[in-house]
């Protein structure tokens, strides 16, 4: 049994929810013999039945039902990938509210009953790339949550960014066609850096706010576990008294919001295209369960028109200074999937899936989405997609929707219509748990219009830009410059620099200079100078610095200091991070005093220097040991490991002779080192933490500084 299988068996007991129990009815352990799909034991699955004299290969016979079944099943393995969000990863978990404080807004038990544990399944995704594209591309990330509530399934189909490119669902095919690979050559994959995308967003200024977010560090998250999630659209809540509230849903990660730097993200696309997928699996199997707080922003129905923006416009946030975020619950992901296809590929989310106490608003993006998701599942999975194990609810499903391809359920009874003489399956009044249809009065004319406040596109783009730190602004400028540099049509990059000048003059000027755009001489529009505190990622840093779930590489060669490495590993484990020994070879690496190659002993290196790259780790520690430090200093790749990590602003630590390696071989600029072999004082500068003399407390202090530096 592999380590992953063993861990999985161990966690099964603690992750048991009603949904996991339901899925286990369909889950099969590997067994000892092979049958065909009908259960007949198969004698040979390596050789097609042939007409032969026993010595020479003769023709393959069509009559071989086992071979035909095997090949035919294989031929039909693929289903259409999602038209957007094709690349993704998923996990199981649970959701709990802390108390019943949301009762004033909603009758939904999932949001008010603190004694409930609601099973959830979450799928994270990128938008643009195909199923096989890389994880760390610059893109929006999908954050779709399915709640298997006792009242039926509820889906929040959200993103890691709180706004969207367009205001009206009818524009969705256009934005998606524009961002996807271009039609004539199907280029590029997993990127928005091309003419068509920037052409479209330049002509569609309602996308300006969203562009600011995607081009900021939000577009390149460090992991799925370190991103916020947003329902984006405006939904509604209805309470027991029948009062209605507008609501936005938020997920806030326990570990804070973190991103790659662009160079790192680009490199990981090649070095480990599955980085985010593996990260999610690694965190869950090592017990660092991804956790988010769940919050709601609520506006009473009577206040709908009190804001300068339209609260039904998905290109706008509700600044938290105006509409405070109320944290009401928590979600934990604690179980990886058993098999990717039936769970992650077949899971089907729909914004239209809501439960009593939760409803929709007139948000024109949401209304179109409510049509699109159900519809797309029919072409991906067939009309009976709700019956697939991952999609079916944990509460009873009872109706007369029948038949269709791949129907699973068998219903007893002689009637399949309502009303019927037997009074089977009758509609349920809201007093008895039936869905509450909020009575909204509607009047007006039919017209293809958008509300007046929908016409303003730049105020909040400015608000976002103004709310960033200086380095976040610089990252954003660099990102737009990178993207526009990949557009070779001057019409495109010239016009987009003009759009940027509506947001911020300096932003537009710098980008225009970088990409050969039209350098503006004065702002098209004055910057209103307002900012809000919750838009910068820094706002979400955990109150106590933590290294939980971080990947820390310990760089050694033969002759390293064993006591130090043991101390380091213990301190890293105590901080719930993972340590990875990187050595000259995968296998035993020998400490000071041991004979190299003397069998088991020392530490087992998880990877050799060439087997991985610095990009795949969060922090680096070089322990002492004169011979080890010398060998590291003579190796260009190990020097590159640390230089590259420094360039990506990663935390770096060194002890004793390891500090000499940093100072004399790696030669990082402007660093203050502690090279004094008698000093256990931890010195820290520019994210580099050094200590001359080894002590366990020194290591613990150093590790904490690494956390604080992150
Ligand atoms: Fe969408 C998938 C999120 C607008 C039509 N969307 C999809 C997924 C996420 C989102 C996370 C992947 C779900 C999964 O993991 O299976 N989409 C959003 C957000 C939007 C949004 C946050 C704006 C607020 N989407 C949107 C519009 C339309 C769609 C306006 C159509 C009018 N989206 C789809 C789709 C997909 C989809 C075509 C593709 C696969 C699927 O639904 O199941 O129906």
Q: Using the atom order of ligand 1, give the atom closest to the CA of residue 84.
A: 39
Which distant-in-sequence residues (6+ apart) come within 8 Å of 436 by Cβ? 107, 238, 242, 356, 357, 359, 430
User: Three-class SS of residue 71?
Assistant: helix
Give backbone dihedrals phi and psi of 153, rounded to 5 degrees, phi first.
-80, 140
Tell me, using a 6 A CB cutoff, whether residue 466 lines ligand 1: no
User: Three-class SS of residue 364?
Assistant: helix
User: What does the pLDDT look like over 209-219, one tens digit per residue?
Assistant: 999 999 999 99
* Predicted confidence band of residue 700 (pLDDT cuts 50, 70, 90): confident
User: Three-class SS of residue 437?
Assistant: coil
Whole-number Å distance, alpha carbon 343 to ligand 1 midpoint, is 18
**pLDDT for the residue 699:** 76
Tell me, using a 6 A CB cutoff, whether residue 216 lines ligand 1: no
Is 8's pLDDT higher than 60?
no
Around 217, how many Cα atoms within 13 Å sit in the side-chain half-sphere? Answer: 23
Share of the chain above pLDDT 70, in %: 97
* Predicted confidence band of residue 707 (pLDDT cuts 50, 70, 90): low
Q: Where are the domain boundaries for CATH 4.10.91 in the chain? A: 3-75
* Predicted confidence band of residue 306 (pLDDT cuts 50, 70, 90): very high
Is 10's pLDDT higher than 70?
no
**pLDDT for the residue 600:** 82
Which distant-in-sequence residues (6+ apart) come within 8 Å of 447 by Cβ? none
Is 462's pLDDT higher than 90?
yes
Average pLDDT rounded to a whole number, residues 458-477: 98
Average pLDDT rounded to a whole number, residues 387-409: 96
Q: Which fold has domain 546-709?
A: Rossmann fold (3.40.50)
Average pLDDT rounded to a whole number, residues 422-443: 92
Predicted TM-score (pTM) of the model is: 0.96
**pLDDT for the residue 703:** 76
Is 2's pLDDT higher than 60?
no
Is 698's pLDDT higher than 80?
no
Q: What residues does 581 pair with on adjacent strands?
A: 554
The encoded tokens of residue 652 equal 């770096």
> In this structure, are residues 154 and 118 in contact, taking their beta carbons and an 8 Å threshold?
no
373 is in an annotated binding site: yes
Tell me, using a 6 A CB cutoff, whether residue 584 lines ligand 1: no
User: What does the pLDDT look like over 479-517, one tens digit per residue?
Assistant: 999 999 999 999 999 999 999 999 999 999 999 999 999
**pLDDT for the residue 176:** 98
- Of 179, 198, 199, give the one whose Cα is nearest residue 189: 179
**pLDDT for the residue 509:** 98
Is 1's pLDDT higher than 60?
no
Which distant-in-sequence residues (6+ apart) come within 8 Å of 373 by Cβ? 157, 348, 349, 350, 351, 352
**pLDDT for the residue 225:** 98
- Of 380, 345, 346, 350, give the one whose Cα is nearest residue 368: 350
**pLDDT for the residue 255:** 96
Average pLDDT rounded to a whole number, residues 139-162: 98
Of 75-79, 188-192, 421-425, the poorest mean pLDDT is in 421-425
**pLDDT for the residue 393:** 98
Q: Please state which CATH number belongs to domain 3-75.
A: 4.10.91
Give how far the C-alpha of residue 360 lies from the chain's centroid of Cα atoms, to the nearest Å.
25
The residue written with tokens 């610059």 in the block is 138
Residue 500: how many CB atoms within 10 A of its CB?
Answer: 28
Active site residues: 85, 159
Report the C-alpha gap between 436 and 241 in whole angstroms. 11
- Of 514, 193, 510, give the one whose Cα is nearest residue 201: 193
Q: Where are the domain boundaries for CATH 3.40.50.880 in the chain? A: 546-709
Average pLDDT rounded to a whole number, residues 332-351: 98
Q: Whose C-alpha lies nearest to ligand 1, atom 35?
A: 373
Average pLDDT rounded to a whole number, residues 637-659: 96
Burial class for 459, CB neighbours closer than 10 Å (0-12, 13-18, 19+)? middle
Average pLDDT rounded to a whole number, residues 544-563: 95
* Predicted confidence band of residue 709 (pLDDT cuts 50, 70, 90): low
Is 21's pLDDT higher than 80?
yes
Is 388's pLDDT higher than 90?
yes
Is 191's pLDDT higher than 80?
yes
User: What does the pLDDT look like over 529-548, one tens digit per residue?
Assistant: 999 999 999 999 999 989 99
**pLDDT for the residue 697:** 77
Whole-number Å distance, alpha carbon 573 to ligand 1 midpoint, is 39
* Predicted confidence band of residue 696 (pLDDT cuts 50, 70, 90): confident
Average pLDDT rounded to a whole number, residues 158-181: 98
Whole-number Å distance, alpha carbon 619 to ligand 1 midpoint, is 36
Q: Using the atom order of ligand 1, give the atom closest to the CA of residue 377.
A: 43
Give backbone dihedrals phi and psi of 48, rounded to 5 degrees, phi first.
-65, 140
Which distant-in-sequence residues (6+ apart) come within 8 Å of 283 by Cβ? 223, 225, 289, 290, 549
Whole-number Å distance, alpha carbon 10 to ligand 1 midpoint, is 35
Say yes or no: ipTM exceeds 0.90. yes
Is 11's pLDDT higher than 70?
no
- Of 183, 177, 148, 145, give the one whose Cα is nearest residue 21: 148
**pLDDT for the residue 577:** 95
Q: Whose C-alpha lies nearest to ligand 1, atom 9?
A: 142
Is 687's pLDDT higher than 60?
yes
Report the C-alpha gap between 185 and 131 in whole angstroms. 18
User: What does the pLDDT look like over 262-295, one tens digit per residue?
Assistant: 999 999 999 999 999 999 999 999 999 999 999 9
What is the pLDDT of the chain when averaged over all its residues?
Answer: 95
């Amino acid at each position: 049994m592999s380590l992953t299988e063993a861990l999985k068996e161990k966690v099964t007991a603690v992750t048991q929810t009603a949904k996991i129990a339901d899925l286990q009815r369909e889950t099969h352990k590997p067994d000892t013999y092979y049958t065909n799909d009908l259960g007949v034991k198969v004698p040979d699955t390596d050789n097609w039945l042939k007409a032969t004299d026993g010595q020479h290969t003769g023709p393959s016979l069509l009559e071989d039902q086992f071979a035909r079944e095997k090949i035919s099943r294989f031929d039909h393995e693929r289903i259409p990938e999602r038209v957007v969000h094709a690349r993704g990863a998923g996990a199981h978990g649970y959701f709990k509210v802390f108390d019943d404080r949301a009762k004033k807004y909603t009758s939904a038990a999932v949001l008010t009953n603190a004694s409930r544990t609601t099973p959830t399944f979450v799928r994270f995704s990128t938008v643009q790339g195909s199923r096989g594209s890389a994880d760390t591309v610059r893109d929006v990330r999908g954050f779709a949550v399915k709640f298997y509530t006792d009242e039926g399934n509820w889906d929040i189909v959200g993103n890691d960014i709180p706004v969207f490119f367009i205001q009206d669902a009818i524009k969705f095919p256009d934005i998606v066609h524009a961002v996807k690979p271009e039609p004539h050559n199907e280029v590029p994959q997993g990127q928005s850096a091309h003419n068509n995308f920037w052409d479209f967003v330049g002509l569609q200024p309602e996308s300006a706010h969203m562009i600011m977010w995607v081009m900021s560090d939000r577009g390149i998250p460090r992991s799925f576990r370190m991103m916020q999630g947003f329902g984006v659209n405006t939904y509604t809540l209805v309470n027991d008294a029948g009062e209605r509230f507008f609501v936005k849903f938020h997920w806030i990660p326990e570990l804070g919001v973190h991103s790659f730097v662009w160079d790192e993200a680009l490199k990981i696309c090649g070095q480990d295209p599955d980085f985010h997928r593996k990260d999610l699996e690694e965190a869950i199997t090592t017990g660092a369960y991804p956790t988010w707080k769940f919050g709601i922003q609520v506006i009473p129905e009577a206040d709908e028109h009190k804001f300068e923006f339209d609260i039904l416009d998905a290109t706008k946030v509700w600044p938290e200074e105006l509409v405070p975020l109320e944290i009401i619950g928590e979600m934990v992901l604690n179980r990886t999937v058993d098999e990717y296809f039936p769970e992650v590929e077949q899971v089907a989310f729909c914004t239209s899936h809501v439960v009593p106490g939760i409803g929709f608003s007139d948000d024109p993006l949401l209304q179109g989405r409510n049509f699109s998701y159900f519809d797309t599942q029919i072409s991906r999975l067939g009309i009976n997609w709700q019956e697939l194990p991952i999609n079916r609810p944990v509460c009873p499903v009872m109706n007369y929707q029948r038949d269709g391809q791949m129907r699973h359920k068998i219903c007893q009874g002689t009637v399949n219509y309502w009303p019927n003489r037997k009074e089977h399956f009758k509609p349920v009044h809201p007093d008895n748990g039936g869905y509450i249809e909020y009575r909204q009065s509607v009047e007006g004319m039919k017209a293809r219009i958008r509300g007046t406040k929908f016409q303003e596109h730049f105020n909040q783009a400015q608000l976002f830009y103004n709310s960033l730190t200086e380095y976040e602004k610089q990252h954003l400028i660099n990102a737009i410059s990178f993207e526009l540099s990949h557009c070779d049509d001057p019409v495109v990059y010239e016009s987009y620099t003009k759009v940027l000048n509506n947001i911020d003059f300096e932003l537009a000027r710098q980008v225009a200079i970088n990409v050969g755009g039209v350098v503006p001489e004065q702002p098209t529009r004055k910057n209103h100078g307002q900012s809000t505190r919750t838009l910068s990622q820094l706002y979400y840093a955990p109150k106590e610095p933590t290294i939980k779930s971080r990947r820390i590489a310990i760089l050694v060669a033969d002759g390293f200091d064993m006591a130090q490495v043991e101390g380091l590993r213990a301190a890293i484990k105590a901080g719930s991070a993972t340590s990875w020994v990187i050595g000259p070879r995968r296998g035993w690496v020998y400490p000071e005093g041991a004979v190299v190659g003397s069998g088991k002993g020392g530490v087992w290196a998880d990877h050799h220097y060439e087997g991985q790259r610095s990009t795949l780790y969060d922090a680096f520690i070089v322990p002492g040991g004169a011979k080890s430090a010398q060998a590291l200093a003579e190796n260009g790749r190990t020097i590159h490991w640390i230089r590259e990590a420094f360039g990506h602003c990663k935390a770096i630590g060194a002890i004793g002779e390891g500090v000499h390696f940093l100072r004399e071989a790696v030669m990082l600029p402007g660093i203050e080192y502690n090279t004094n072999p008698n000093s256990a004082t931890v010195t820290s500068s520019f994210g580099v933490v050094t200590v001359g003399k080894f002590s366990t407390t020194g290591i613990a202090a150093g590790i904490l500084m690494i956390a604080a530096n992150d």
